[in-house]
Structure 1
Amino acid sequence: MAFFRKRGNKWEYRISYVDRRSGTTKETSKGGFKTKKEAQIAATEAESKINHFGFSENGNEKIDHYFQKWLETYKKPNVKPITYSLQERNVRLNILPRWRNYRLKDITRTEYQQWINELRDHYSEGTVRRIHSIMSAALTDAVFEFNIFRENPIQKIKIPKDNQNTSKVPYFSKTELGTFLTTVKEPVKNAKYNKSIQYYVLFNLMARTGIRIDEALALRWDDLDEAKKSLTINKTLVYPLNSSPYVSTPKSKQSDRTIKVDNTTMKLLKQQQTNREEIHYLYKNYRRSQDNLIFYQHDGRWLRTNVVRDYFKEICKRANLPVLSPHALRHTHAVHLLEAGVQIKYVSERLGHANMNVTADTYLHVTEKIEDDALSLYENYLQDS
């Protein structure tokens, strides 16, 4: 129910309502209206929002304050640290710059859809879906956990899809990969530790096994079984913003795996062991890893993922290749396996995908080629009979 009073030359409304979360009676008010009629119109609109959406005073809460509370209460205690780090980063870099100064009750479906469309001009479909998923989850909790309003205002938002021609994963052809690895091997003049071969070994390992960069940087020598020529992937390196790095469990249950390593990669890893000893002899300030790491920086700690990415891109430029990210080596390995005729089930298990559908969908353009080649073989078989 709304009440009105005149304060000086201005009118004010005051609305009493029952907060659904606490069951207590609360009030909200607003003044500064020139006439009682203006105050009545504004009060009617406010009551309508309270009745329809269930806005309490938290409906006036700024988005940045709400997200800080939401992340701390519902995300940080309930998800893996690496997942929380990624979600917090998306909120900070993508959501808050656009919505920071909005109140929760100011978000409209139309304006939000326009923002999603704008994001698609800069990000892939998958990235935009991840951003939207975080925003939608936060507003769903505003409904069911915080009781701020009755329904999520950004339900049924449409994410513009990728065109088929732009959905191909980035990877190197066999020739491009050879050029890239040859360029990595070439010593850089005046580089501080130019006798080290660890980047050459690291990028070879990723290209010939398909392991992720954070899986590779977490590897220890006891993860390598020389007798069985296998590598156990059971951890991942997490480098959160403004915090110390740490080792976590793999991305998913399927990511915890043991894979075979080819002879060339085994030889390179043995060379890495020998080269480490040479590096410690040549550079007195190069410390040993206390964690028995395969790859580490000069102070003995984990290599920084952002440093590895920057160096990777620098190699691409030096080799006159498309500037990709280290993750392209994972795609490269998968594509080369499929093109070589390896069964998709094996590729899926080697990469640690949740199921074969993930592999098939990711490398659709390759699997389509395999199907076409298979049909050609079948046609030739029938013609020869």
Structure 2
Amino acid sequence: MAHKNQLFHRYFHEWMELYKKGAVRNVTYQKYEMTHKHIVALAPTLTLAHLNRQAYQSLLNDFAVNHERLTTMDLHHHLKAAILDAIDEGLIKRDPTRKAVIKGTVQRLHKVKFLHQRELSKLLESLKLNQNISWDYFILLIAKTGLRFGEALGLTPTDFNFSEQRLTINKTWDYKSQSSDFAPTKNRSSIRKIPLDWHTSMQFSQLIRDLPKEKPIFIKKGKRAYNETANDHLERLCKRAEVPVISIHGLRHTHASLLLYAGVSVASVAKRLGHANMSTTQKTYLHIIQELENQDNDKIMRYLTSLT
């Protein structure tokens, strides 16, 4: 039973086992386990009774010395969730996370988030698409569908409906674990059917026609697939095509961004990406949406002017 003199890291461990284990995906739960390790390292003797604003800010500051601001923010969110429950239980009198200042190291130079249409065309033209499954086909499919890395890895021939030109997403591939097996999708909204363009549909109909129906098409028997391997391959392709280097996840952003620029509604893009709600899409692509709104405002003004 929790009490005020309990060590904070022990309370957090009990809290995450009680409320998060089995309720979130294994990958997400591993992040909570990592947060617990950070608390043990940064504040091994901190008790709930002594968890005030100063102690909490000090913990965040110590973490921020070697981590970027966004990473510090993630830690803060994990800790705050547990602390608010401790407050509800009467173990902490006041919220120590109130007005917490989130710091962090200067962000490293990241890859660009998405390519423009001409750049994506150059990248796709550089792909070597022969008769065998390869990372080039993997990159093509993500560029054309906006799939997540694990979703694309989990695809089997039965997920393709070539007569209707649709791709069914109802599972992922747990590439981060040693077991390397199928896993549930990120959320219920991630279970979806994605229309395929006829050219991509024709390419894959020939490519996978003789493959085992229930086996992942991009996973070689007895071998694991790594995100880093795919990103390294994509980097080489980007350099060869003389376009900005992006990540596999950047291809997903590229897919969504180009659809928005093409005039596809936010609701349709959210559904295609498997977002739980439109607000996720709006936050992720806020700069594009604002740019399109400015263009719409110009159109509105030109139209209204024409009425006079």
Of the three residues 71, 79, 82, the one matched with 1:135 is 79
Q: Tell me whether 1:353 sits opposite 2:288 in the alignment.
A: no
Query: Within 2, Cα distance between the matches of 1:120 and 1:184?
Result: 42
Q: Relative to total residues, which structure has the larger strand share, 1 or 2?
A: 1
Alpha-carbon contact 2:133-2:217 (below 8 Å) kept: no
The 5 Å alignment of 1:56-67 reads 56=5, 58=6, 61=7, 63=9, 65-67=10-12
Matched, 1:172 2:115: yes
Match for residue 332 of structure 1? 254
RCO higher in structure (CA 8 A, sep ≥6): 2
What is the match of residue 197 of structure 2? 262
Residue 343 of structure 1 deviates from its aligned partner by: 1.8
Partner of 1:42: none
1:363 to 285, 299, 306: 285
- The corresponding residue for 2:184 is 249
AA at the equivalent of 2:27: I
Q: Is the 8 A contact 1:217 1:302 kept in 2?
A: no
Counterpart for residue 25 of structure 1: none
Task: Summarize the alignment of residues 274-285 of structure 1 with structure 2, pairs less than 5 Å apart.
Answer: none
Q: Is the 8 A contact 1:201 1:268 kept in 2?
A: no
Assess, with a 3 A threshold, how the Cα gap between structure 1 residues 267 and 172 changes in structure 2: closer, same or farther: same
Decide whether the 8 Å contact of 2:173 with 2:182 is kept in 1: yes
Work out the CA distance in 2 between the residues paired with 1:121 and 1:316.
31
Query: How far is the alpha carbon of 1:244 from its aligned partner?
Result: 1.7
Percent sequence identity over aligned pairs: 32
Cα deviation code 1:218-267 (max 9, x no counterpart): 111101100100011111222345x4233222212211111101122213
Change (3 A) 1:73 1:318: farther
Per-residue CA deviation, residues 43-78 of structure 1 (Å, 9 max, x unaligned), is xxxxxxxxxxx633x2xx373x55444443442243
Alignment partner of 1:119 is 2:55: no
Shift of 1:96: 4.7
What one-letter code is carried by the residue in structure 2 that aligns with 1:351?
L
Asked whether 1:294 is paired with 2:238, we answer: no
Is the partner of 2:173 in helix, strand or coil? strand
1: CA distance, partners of 2:45 / 2:126: 50
Q: Are the counterparts in 2 of residues 207 and 330 from structure 1 also a CA contact under 8 Å?
A: yes
> 1:185-235 CA distances to partner (integer Å, 9 max, x unpaired)?
399xxxxxxx85521111111111111111111111101100100011111
* Structure-1 separation of matches of 2:129 and 2:158: 29
Which of the residues 170, 174, 185 maps onto 1:238? 174
How far did 1:271 drift? 4.6
> Over residues 19-47 of structure 1, what are the superposed CA-to-partner deviations in whole Å (9 max), with x where a residue is unaligned?
xx59xxxxxxxxxxxxxxxxxxxxxxxxx
Residue of structure 1 equivalent to 2:162:
226
Task: Tell me which residue corresponds to 1:55.
Answer: 4
Q: Look up the match of 1:376.
A: 298
Aligned to 1:198: 134
The one-letter amino acid paired with 2:278 is M
> For the residues of structure 1 that align with 2:262 and 2:126, how far apart are their CA atoms?
25
8 A contact 1:289–1:300 mirrored in 2: no
Equivalent residues of 2:154, 2:172 under 8 A apart: yes
CA distance in 1, matches of 2:42, 2:69: 18
Question: Against the structure 1 CA distance between its residues 305 and 91, is the aligned structure 2 distance closer, same or farther, given a 3 Å change threshold?
Answer: farther
Equivalent residue letter for 1:220: T
Q: Contact 1:85–1:240 (CA<8 Å) still a contact in 2? A: no
Return 5+ residue gaps in structure 1 as ranges.
1-20, 23-53, 188-194, 278-287
CA-CA distance at 1:81 after TM superposition: 2.5
Higher mean C-alpha deviation, range 265-274 or range 327-336: 265-274
Instruction: State the shift of 1:173 in Å.
Output: 1.2
Q: How many residues align?
A: 300
Structure 2: give runs of 5+ residues left out of the alignment: none
Q: Give yes or no for contact 1:289–1:301 (8 Å, CA) kept in 2.
A: no
The DSSP-based 3-state class of the residue aligned with 1:259 is strand
What is the letter of the counterpart of residue 112 of structure 1? Y
Query: Judging changes above 3 Å, is the alpha-carbon distance between structure 1 residues 170 and 151 closer, same or farther for their aligned structure 2 residues?
Result: same
The whole-number CA distance in structure 1 between the counterparts of 2:26 and 2:223 is: 20
Q: SS state of the match for residue 193, structure 2? A: strand
Partner residue in 2 for 1:40? none
Checking the alignment, whether the CA contact within 8 Å between 2:150 and 2:174 is kept in structure 1 is yes
Check whether the contact 2:144–2:255 (CA below 8 A) recurs between aligned residues: yes
| TM-fit CA distance, 1:334 | 0.8
- RMSD, aligned CA: 3.6
Letter of the 1:263 partner, please give it: W
Decide whether the 8 Å contact of 1:218 with 1:302 is kept in 2: no
Q: 1:201 to 1:73 in 2, by over 3 A?
A: same
Q: Distance in 2 between matches of 1:323 and 1:133?
A: 31
